[in-house]
A and B are shown apart, each in its own frame.
Chain A
Amino acid sequence: MTLFDRVFSGNDAVYGLTEAAIDNAIAQYGADQAVSFPHTAYSLPCYYAVTGTKVANLGELKEALGVVKTLMTREQKLNDAFMSGVATALCAEFIEVLKYINGAEPYAEPYYGHLADAIIRELGVPLVTGDIPGVAVILGKAPSNEEAVELVKSYQAQGILVTLVGDVIDQCVEAGLKMGYALRIVPLGKDVTSVIHVVSVALRAALIFGNVTPGDAGALMKYTMDRVPAFVNAFKPLDDVVVACGAGAIALGFPVVTNETENIFRVPKSLIVQEDVSKFNATSLEARDIKIKITKIDIPVSFASAFEGEIIRKG
């Protein structure tokens, strides 16, 4: 199977799930049922950023899915794969917003799920000044808990904002890693679709700080590529859905580093196979052209701006 076929297959799978989920929701709540994420002025931020259209209720969500379908062309070309990646991301956003239906609170400690606009505005300045030199999206299950923690900590020590999706969160919890937005480690959720919440951050950044007009997909992708220093670390095994999400990330300019060697195609600067997880950090930074100037201070504890919000509890 070609790389693009895998993207298309993953996209089809997610689209199918999304369609069923929306239909079920309409059957349950009716087409007029409102849908929204909490604490955002950007409706469904990804869909809004890409198309310029706000979605208010389930009926409109169904219509929006029709728009997403138009992105799902099936020629063996990168543009088709990119658009299918974007379509996959938008489907993920639809699935995620359904979780919030009727005022539900689907995410609880340690998971964050959707991130509020306020957080993005807060992140904006350190991102621009380079105080946060990058955004890591770590996804899947690391070969071991130790390797998971070591990787997360390595980014944390560089001041990189780390977002986690899937089993890696459990691994970090088991290993007793302190996590939280203040520490720049944000566990998003267990489902792969929760990765959309970091994409949502990148796209809202483009709207808020980049002055990108919602619906100007070209300018949006250029902004994320040039200005949002994000990258993805995806652990094996990669299924087609993850590959499809990866295509979306690459479309936005975010390289994907994976330790998957089966049925994967390497793409320079975009899809990089690094079998050694301990080298994910160096590989990712080089792939995203992130250069960090570090003055190493020889002290017995970790030192980074990421620890600035740390709360020392008694005991």
Chain B
Amino acid sequence: MGDFKLTTVEEMEAATNRLLETGAKVGADAWQIRVKNQTPHCKFGEQGICCRICAMGPCRITPKAPRGICGCDAHGIVGRNYLKFTAGGAATHSDHGREICHTLYAADPNGAYKVKDPDKLIRIAKEWGVETEGKDIYDLAHEMAELALMEYGKPFGVQRWLKRAPEHTQKLWHDAEIEPRAIDREVATSLHMTHMGCSSKPEALVRQSLRAGLADGWGGSMCGTEFSDVLFGTPKPIDTEANLGVMNAENVNIVVHGHDPSLSEMVCEYADDPEMIAYAKSMGAKGITVSGVCCTSNEVAMRRGIPMAGNFLQQENVVLTGACEAIVVDVQCIFPALGPLSKCFHTKFITTSPIAQMPDSDYIRFDVGTAAEKAKQIVKTACENFKNRKPELVYIPDMKQKATVGYSLEALVKVLDGVTNSQVDVTGTTKPLLECVTSGVIRGAVAMVGCNNPKVRPDTAHIEMMKKLIANDIVVVASGCSAQAAAKAGLMDKAAKDLCGAGLKRVCELADIPPVLHMGSCVDISRMMILVSELAKDSGLKISQLPVVGCAPEWMSEKAVSIGNYVVATGIDTFLGVDPYVSGSSEMGEWLTNGVRDWVEAAYTVETDIDKLCDKMIERIEEKRTAIGI
């Protein structure tokens, strides 16, 4: 056992409360306060029965007013709101993927961005039928980038990545008419459908929600993940640390926050530069510590072992330590509150993307062409800010856990190769994992994803469910803020094997892995889609037959809904701990929790009681096992 001990939510909350005391001293606002101000929430909004898509409204549905002014009923309003929500998420991930494709297009052997995994690029090129023989790798990169960018707006055909799915899944998509065409088209079509006087039939709105989701998971997100690997390297198992204690009081602390690794990779690169370290020293610091928040943190943790300071609802805590010289952000899930908050401290809140501009920030516009010089400027700015630190406000909670991360699909297959027997097995497949599952040693797998949401006690659902799952011999793959919750708690420390049931524990020992596997950022959920596809192909089963489910217990963003839609559409039952604003329509509820099963062999389960949610997942996994006789 050693001295391994999980960090509890109570301990994390105590640390947060201590930081909030600092905040109170300097008059800082905090999400904890804003939640109180916003509670109770508007019931019409919560149930999804408020519509303001035209200027005749806003309309809301009540027993006395069962229809909006145009005549749309609750089902149509909830359906449209749901599709708009999805479209927002799909657009967000997809634009992130697009930026990566542009970065790939700008890759240059002498430039800031290089091709770090040429083998992966060649593999994808062959998959797409692109001639690779005798071609310069950068010419190939540019050609592939252009092809990928065409996926966003091509006039004809469906997404190239769909071919990675098992044939049965492809057929389901085709028959249900939910194969995503051009990525942007699905987003635009969704917004068209939700315009006043277009679609108000739940069936049609749900169908397009799945298609827009698939355009994300099997389009935009997959582009983001695959080409990020090409540019920055495919993740391999690597040791790192998580929680606020990774910040170093004696160093210049730069926190990267947001999503796109094009920025965070460059910041990490320059923070490592001897010239910059010397510069930090000249400013009175001992060195430079880069840590991360949210998905860009996941990206650099997976590839560089950069420590993870925290997840979504911890972003303000980073500044509250008083030891953050700069919080550098790009896009998505960045609290605009960071602007005013940073003004209470010496912290520089540096925004970098024209997509995400915020008041009270230093805007250092970052683009591929000037990446190196801008990254250097950012690091320099942070170093120069060290001397402005107010020592009386500095408090870094002394809590962190070890984590082993970096489990890309490629890395997982390599881990699995490690437990094969060269006398009987082939390598390079998911078969050893399937054998563990079919024999019952591992009961199944849960993909834990998603955000934090103040509606759920932050991180509790993630951590408590994971603990229960691994104790029941269910392996957990995690991404996003769920993965960071696991890392903060210590569930990604290999020593956490002692919390597992005998089966999973044995697997962790033999394969030398932690029981919760970090597969990356939110776009990296596409890795999970490829993983289940490989499992289905290697087993000869349908994806929907595998004892695998998805779960977003603390979700909050539109992206999470888009993700949920493509996970369900891929054939994986998905469990939500927060209602997606559909409780106002029985028809929409029926479609999402049951009706879509006819198309894609999977559906949603919504359960806000986290303990019950977990039991339902375990139950579903066992049902699936029974159904295939294992």
Write the residues of chain A forming the contact surface with B, with a CB cutoff of 8 angstroms: 2-4, 76-79, 81-82, 265-274, 279, 282-283, 286-287
Q: From residue B284, how far is it (CB to closest CB) to chain A in Å?
A: 50
Chain B: CB-nearest residue to A221 = B502
Instruction: Judge whether B439 and A77 touch: CB under 8 Å.
Output: no
* B421:A4 contact, CB within 8 angstroms: no
Interface contacts beyond A79-B503, A268-B420, A272-B424: sample of 4 additional A-B pairs, CB < 8 Å, sorted by A = A76-B625, A77-B473, A78-B502, A274-B424
Count of chain A to chain B residue pairs whose CB atoms are closer than 8 Å in the complex:
73
**A2, A265, A272: which contacts B421 (Cβ < 8 A)?**
A272
Q: For residue B332, which residues in chain A have a CB less than 8 angstroms away from its CB?
A: none
Confirm or deny: B436 has a beta carbon within 8 angstroms of a beta carbon on chain A: yes
Inter-subunit contact A265/B502 (CB<8 Å): no
Contact A271 B439 (CB under 8 A): yes
Q: Which of A4, A268, A269 has the most CB of B within 10 A?
A: A268
The answer for the CA separation of A199 and B419 in the assembled complex, in Å, is 25
Contact A78 B419 (CB under 8 A): no
**Considering the chains assembled together, what is the distance between the CA atoms of A273 and B431 in angstroms?**
14
Q: Is there an interface contact between B440 and A4, defined as CB atoms closer than 8 Å?
A: yes
Digitize B127-163: 1 where CB-to-A-CB distance is under 8 Å, 0 elsewhere: 0000000000000000000000000000000000000
Q: Which residue of B lies closest to A286 (CB)?
A: B421
Q: Contacts of A286 on B, CB cut-off 8 Å? A: 421-423
Q: Give the Cβ gap from A151 to chain B, nearest Cβ, in Å.
A: 14
A2 contacts across to B, CB distance below 8 A: 440, 629-630
A268 vs B419: C-alpha distance when bound (angstroms): 6
* Alpha-carbon separation in the docked complex, A265 to B419 (Å): 16
Are A79 and B502 CB-contacts (below 8 A) given A268-B419, A282-B423, A283-B423?
yes
Instruction: Report Cα–Cα, A76/B622, bound state, in Å.
Output: 10
Contact across chains for B510 and A273 when beta carbons are under 8 A apart:
no
- B502 contacts A82, C-beta separation under 8 Å: yes
B438 at the interface (CB under 8 A from A): yes
Contact B506 A265 (CB under 8 A): no
Q: Verify if B432 is at the interface (C-beta below 8 Å from A).
A: yes
Question: Which residues from B are CB-within-8-Å of A282?
Answer: 423
B422 touches A78 (CB 8 A): no
A residues in contact with B510, CB < 8 Å: 268-270
**Cβ proximity bits B458-494 to A, threshold 8 Å, 1 near / 0 not:** 0000000000000011000000000000000000000
Q: Closest chain B residue to A272 by CB distance?
A: B421
B443 at the interface (CB under 8 A from A): yes
Give the residues in chain A near B595, CB-CB below 8 Å.
Answer: none
A267 touches B421 (CB 8 A): no
CA distance A101 to B622 in the complex (A): 46
Which residue of B422, B424, B443, B502 is within 8 Å of A273 (Cβ)? B424
CB-defined contacts of A267 to chain B, threshold 8 Å: 435-436, 439, 441
Q: Is B501 an interface residue (CB 8 A)?
A: yes
A77/B419 in contact, CB under 8 A: no
The distance in angstroms between the C-alpha atoms of A267 and B423, with both chains bound, is 14
Q: How far apart are A181's CB and chain B's nearest CB, in angstroms? A: 29
Task: Tell me the bound Cα distance from A77 to B435 in angstroms.
Answer: 15
Mark contacts of B414-431 with chain A using CB atoms, 8 A cut-off: 1 yes-contact digit, 0 otherwise: 001001111111000000
Whether the Cβ atoms of B506 and A78 lie closer than 8 Å is yes
In the complex the two chains form, what is the Cα distance from A88 to B626 in whole Å?
A: 26
Contact residues on B (Cβ < 8 Å of other chain), bracket: 20 to 34
A283 surroundings in chain B (CB, below 8 A): 421, 423-424
| A78 near B473: Cβ-Cβ < 8 Å | yes
B residues near A (Cβ < 8 Å) are 416, 419-425, 432, 435-436, 438-441, 443, 472-473, 501-503, 506, 510, 622, 625, 629-630
B475 to chain A, nearest CB (A): 13
CB neighbours (8 Å) of A4 from chain B are 440
Give complex CA distance A266, B629 in Å.
15
User: What are 5 contact pairs spanning A and B, CB under 8 A?
Assistant: A76-B625, A265-B439, A268-B416, A268-B419, A268-B436
Across the interface, which residues of B come within 8 angstroms of A270, CB to CB?
A: 441, 506, 510
Contact residue among A78, A274, A279 (Cβ-Cβ distance under 8 Å from B441): A78
Among A2, A82, A271, A282, find the residue whose CB has the most chain B CB atoms closer than 10 A.
A2
Query: How far apart are A152's CB and chain B's nearest CB, in angstroms?
Result: 18
Alpha-carbon gap, A77 to B625, bound state (A): 13
Q: How far is the CB of B519 from chain A (nearest CB, A)?
A: 21
Check A265 against B443 for contact (C-beta < 8 Å): no
A268 to B418, CA, bound (A): 10
The interface residues of chain A lying within 8 Å CB-to-CB of B435 are: 265-268
User: Which residues on A sit within 8 Å (CB–CB) of B622?
Assistant: 76
In the bound complex, what is the Cα–Cα distance between A272 and B436 (angstroms)? 12
A3 to B625, CA, bound (A): 13
* Chain A residues near B629 (CB-CB < 8 A): 2
Closest A residue to B502 by beta carbon equals: A79
Tell me, in angstroms, the Cα distance from A4 to B501 when the chains sit together: 15
- With known contacts A274-B424, A287-B421, A266–B439 Cβ distance under 8 A: yes
Known: A274-B423, A274-B424, A287-B421. A265 touches B438 (CB 8 A): yes
Do B432 and A268 touch (CB < 8 A)? yes
Query: How far is it, in angstroms, between the C-alpha of A266 and the C-alpha of B425 when the chains are bound?
Result: 11
Shortest Cβ distance from residue A224 to the other chain B in the assembled complex, whole angstroms: 14
A150 to chain B, nearest CB (A): 16
Give the distance in Å from the alpha carbon of A76 to the alpha carbon of B422 in the complex.
Answer: 30
- Closest CB pairs A-B (n = 9): A78-B503, A79-B502, A265-B439, A283-B423, A268-B419, A268-B432, A78-B502, A266-B435, A267-B439
Chain B residues, Cβ within 8 Å of A266? 435, 438-439
Q: Within the complex, what minimum Cβ distance (angstroms) separates A80 from chain B?
A: 8
Shortest CB–CB separation between residue A14 and chain B, in angstroms?
21
**Shortest beta-carbon distance from B418 to chain A in Å:** 9
Bound: A267/B420 CA distance, A: 10
Q: Is the CB of A279 within 8 A of B502?
A: no
Q: Provide the bound-state CA to CA distance between A269 and B510, in Å.
A: 8
Write out the residue numbers on chain B whose beta carbons fall within 8 Å of the beta carbon of A3: 439-440
Shortest CB-to-CB span from B440 to chain A, Å, is: 5
B206 smallest CB distance to A (angstroms):
35
CA distance in complex: A82, B505 (Å): 13
Tell me, in angstroms, the Cα distance from A271 to B630 when the chains sit together: 16
- Min C-beta distance of A63 to chain B, whole Å: 26
Least CB separation from B424: chain A residue:
A274
- Residues from chain A with a CB closer than 8 A to the CB of B425 are 268
Nearest A residue to B441 by beta-carbon distance? A78
Which residues of chain A come closer than 8 Å to B625, judged between CB atoms? Answer: 76
Cβ–Cβ contact A279 & B473, under 8 A: no
**Of B416, B424, B436, B501, which contacts A77 at CB under 8 A?**
B501
Q: Which residues of chain A are within 8 angstroms of B502 by Cβ–Cβ distance?
A: 77-79, 82
